[in-house]
Every structure is written in C-alpha cells, then in structure tokens.
C-alpha cells in the first residue's frame, strides 16, 4: 500500500470514528428514553462498527493494516476504500460470512 493510500484510509477511519461516537451518544440516550428494540439494535450495530474501527486503528499502529487476518494476503485498496475497517480480503470475508451467518 502506498503512503498516500494509507493516509487516506487512516483519515477515513478517524472521520467515521468521530461520527460513530456522536451516533452512540444519541443511541444511548434513545435507549434510555425507552426507544425499544430498534434503538437497541442501532446501539449494538454502532458498537460493533466502533470495535471494528478500533481494531483497524490498532492494525495501523502495529503495521498489519491492509493484510488479511485469515490468509495473510494484501487486502486491495478498493476494498479498504469501500470499508476501511475490513480485516479480511474478499474471499476470506465470503467464507467467514458463510460460516458465521447470524
């Protein structure tokens, strides 16, 4: 990955993290006010995404960002551009989703 690509993806992660932090505050307030199952689902989804972003930030710090956690190949820039927190290449993500469907 080229340095400018890494910088662009790091900025995207930071920006999404900022937005999520704001959304989490709103989600938590809505849940406390009795927002119901939909509010709880939004809160859980946002918490999961924040965990993924924090894991991606850690991979940036330790130098493993952009490398598939399952097979070890480089994750394409296009995939990371679409989903900056991606931890798996397309093929491994497909296998993971087939295996761990919710």
Interacting residues of 82 by C-beta distance below 8 A, sequence separation 6+:
none
| Placement of tokens 């924090």 in the chain | 54
* pLDDT at position 101: 76
| Residue 78, domain CATH | 1.20.120.910
Task: Count the domains in the chain.
Answer: 1
Q: What is the DSSP string of 38-90?
A: HHHHHHHHHHHHHHHHHHHHHHHHHT-TTB-TTT-PBPPHHHHHH-TT--S-H
pTM summary value: 0.83
SS3 74: strand
- The 10s digit of each residue's pLDDT in 18-48 is 999 998 888 778 777 777 777 788 888 999 9
Question: Which residue(s) pair with 74 in the sheet?
Answer: 67
- Residue 55 is part of which domain span? 3-99
């Amino acid at each position: 990955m080229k340095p400018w690509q890494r910088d662009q993806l790091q900025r995207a992660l930071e920006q999404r993290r900022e937005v999520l932090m704001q959304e989490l505050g709103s989600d938590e307030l809505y849940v406390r006010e009795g927002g119901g199952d939909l509010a709880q689902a939004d809160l859980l989804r946002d918490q999961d995404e924040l965990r993924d972003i924090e894991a991606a930030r850690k991979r940036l710090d330790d130098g493993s960002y952009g490398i598939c956690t399952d097979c070890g190949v480089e994750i394409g820039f296009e995939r990371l551009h679409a989903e900056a927190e991606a931890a798996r290449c397309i093929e491994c993500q497909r296998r993971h989703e087939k295996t761990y469907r919710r």
